[in-house]
Amino acid sequence: MFARIPNPALLAGLLVSLLLSGCVTTNSGRQVDLDKARETHIQLGLRYLQSGDENREVARHHFQQALKLGKKDPQAHHGLALLYQADGENKVAESHFEKALRYDHNFSMARVNYGAFLYKQERYQQAREQFRVASEDLAYNRRSYALANLGRAELRLHNLNGAETAFQKSLALSPDLPIALLELAELKFEKQDYSQAKQYLDRFSEKNRQIPQSLWLGIRIEKIFGNRDKERSYALALKNLFPYSAETLKYQQMMAENEQ
């Protein structure tokens, strides 16, 4: 994650200084360091993109400048893919994702982001394939996230065993990864393995803030075990913290059915 940029003018000056400090063409025949210039544009583009919507156009400028220096640069195409995705221009975003991966088949970060892009569009089979390939990159430093996302795609495709395998592999790499813990808790609950479901949920709750999904799952688990006090505690937190969530509505419907 990149830090927010407090002073855009400072970064513009930084770009100039980096270019001037590189190998600039002179009468002696020294060549401009195009790779360094291109990399600087890409890094600035990503930082401006991370710094907020108000800097999106500046980010676009830097990515386009990077492509002028190297039209097949996969990182520049990846940056533009993320930018156009934020713009809601999905067709253009997808074309840049595809170019990024065409020019660097092993660009796992771009592959995971492309998978997330496809997942949001409910193109789960295509998303699964992107996550699967990224998850097999043993050198990728965020492989646990690729595996967790693979698990989510498998769930959407109703492959519970494949999802469980992916989540387990994810936790083997990152034992406290929240998404994998919570999804495994849900999956174990669906399989009626309530003890395992509670263990995964407890591990999630130890280091993460509760969200509607975790509270609703906690209510159902404690109801199974007959722990009325803990069930009420989860329910109270759900109603107070997330009164308009879908999970609160599900809880109210469950209570209404129990009263009939």
pLDDT 10s digit of each residue in the chain, 260 long? 443 444 444 444 434 333 333 444 443 333 358 889 999 999 999 999 999 888 899 999 999 999 999 999 999 999 999 999 999 999 999 999 999 999 999 999 999 999 999 999 999 999 999 999 999 999 999 999 999 999 999 999 999 999 999 999 999 999 999 999 999 999 999 999 999 999 999 999 999 999 999 999 999 999 999 999 999 999 999 999 999 999 999 999 999 888 76
Residues 6+ apart with CB under 8 A from 192: none
pLDDT at 4: 41
pLDDT at 32: 52
pLDDT at 34: 85
Token pair 């997942």 is found at 119
CB 182 within 8 A of CB 204: yes
CB 81 within 8 A of CB 111: no
pLDDT at 79: 97
pLDDT at 28: 38
Q: Within a 13 Å sphere around the CA of 83, how many CA atoms are in the beta-carbon half?
A: 25
Q: Which amino acid is at 147?
A: L
pLDDT at 14: 39
pLDDT at 53: 80
Burial of residue 254 (CB within 10 Å: 0-12, 13-18, 19+) is middle
